[in-house]
Structure 1
Amino acid sequence: MANAVLRSFLPIFSVIFFLTTINVASAKPFSKTVSPSSLGLKKEKLTHLHFFLHDILTGENPTAVQVASAATTNTSSSFFGSVVVIDDLLTAGPDVKSKTVGRAQGMFAFASQSELSLLMTINYVFTEGKFNGSTISILGRNAVFSGVRELPIVGGSGVFRFARGFALLKTHSFDVQLGNAVVEYDVYVLHY
């Protein structure tokens, strides 16, 4: 009887096996080599961007908010273990009322036990001119009290698709009482 039941399901198993092999055979390959021109990529160029980031921790509408901390963060001289999410304004000049060119959106973590050093993962979202809607992604270490800091560009989107390069940061101003800062950026980005 078991053989009879098995024989009655055999046509169903055959159809399922047949359909599975057709689906596998028609699936796209996992990887293949493509020509850069097939994606519309032309000659690579180097663009220099200069702007100011406004990191506001206080007031009615802060742009940097602490979202996590370790049990020892409050006793740490370097705020080790604190995580801050940002949506900072980017402007053409150092004044917050300067022309807006975008936003810095992402997070940073205080990642050193001995000095004020941040691990930054930030997207610079541009809203101005030919870069409107494009982004640059930065991931790196920011030793806050160094005169000039260098962070790597690890990617981008829109005009900055396939981006790579670096950003030089220097503190333009810092309010010790409030913790608010204005940081000047010189960004050098290779893209197509």
Structure 2
Amino acid sequence: MILCVTFSLVHGKYYSATEPHVRMKEKVTNLYFFFHDTLSGKNPSAVLIAKPSLPNNNDTSQSSFGSLYAVDDPLTVRPELTSEVIGNAQGLWVSSGQGSVQTLVVYFDFGFTTGELNGSAITVFSRNPVMEMERELAVIGGRGRFRMARGFAQLKTYTVDLTNGDAIVEYNVTVIHY
């Protein structure tokens, strides 16, 4: 019995021996698409899931500080929602800017559903100062073709409706992966 316990402790590791890393060749992929974030209408792609209840809070806007949204936004090849859908962005955004600075912190998984990228995805997690016309998000990972991804997404607001929060954002993404 003692031999069995000793043997299993020595050979029952939860990891394997570290092997020398064989350098894989890095690849760079550039992606260009449009992100449609719709808060209005009968079938919104972004929905409020939590809003803070703060005393003396007179902010009635949809994206007041602390508001949390779940998203399932379509990604298209052109700015028109009727253009070819190449995937969707699923995740969360929270309104994190207080006062006059409208800032979101976003976590999105951009899943691609067509062509060579079908089944692959990139993940972004970053601060998004949405009132700036041009801004940048960090690509922090990926799956499928984009395993071990890193990079950045340059964003430009294509259109925004300030009354209902609907927006179309142009994404130009550089992904470095193996």
Q: One fold, TM greater than 0.5? A: yes
Give yes or no for the alignment of 1:158 onto 2:141: no
Measure the CA separation in 2 of the matches of 1:143 and 1:28: 46
Residue equivalent to 2:79: 94
Counterpart residue type for residue 165 of structure 2: G
Residue equivalent to 1:185: 171
Unaligned runs of 5+ in 2: none
Residue equivalent to 1:118: 104
Q: How far did residue 177 of structure 1 move?
A: 2.9
**Higher share of residues assigned helix:** 1
- CA separation of 1:112/1:163 partners in 2, compared to 1, >3 Å: closer, same or farther? same
Counterpart secondary structure, 1:146:
coil
TM, length-normalised to structure 2: 0.89
Residue equivalent to 2:64: 79
Residue equivalent to 1:170: 156
TM, length-normalised to structure 1: 0.83
Measure the CA separation in 2 of the matches of 1:176 and 1:31: 54
Match for residue 105 of structure 1 among 87, 90, 106: 90
Match for residue 138 of structure 1 among 121, 124, 127: 124
Give a deviation string over 1:50-91, Cα, whole Å, max 9, x none.
000001111221110010111139634761110001000000
**Percent of aligned pairs with the same amino acid:** 43
Higher relative contact order (CA 8 A, sep 6+): 2
Measure the CA separation in 2 of the matches of 1:69 and 1:84: 9
Give yes or no for the alignment of 1:64 onto 2:50: no
Give a deviation string over 1:109-145, Cα, whole Å, max 9, x none.
1112121100101100011111110110100000011
Give yes or no for the alignment of 1:54 onto 2:54: no
- CA separation of 1:45/1:84 partners in 2, compared to 1, >3 Å: closer, same or farther? same
Residue equivalent to 1:27: 12
Unaligned runs of 5+ in 1: 1-14
Counterpart residue type for residue 167 of structure 2: A
Q: How far did residue 158 of structure 1 move?
A: 0.5
Q: How far did residue 27 of structure 1 move?
A: 1.8
- Which is further off, 119-128 or 69-78? 69-78
Counterpart residue type for residue 60 of structure 1: K
Measure the CA separation in 1 of the matches of 2:97 and 2:17: 42
Measure the CA separation in 2 of the matches of 1:90 and 1:191: 21
Q: Which has the larger radius of gyration?
A: 1
RMSD: 2.0
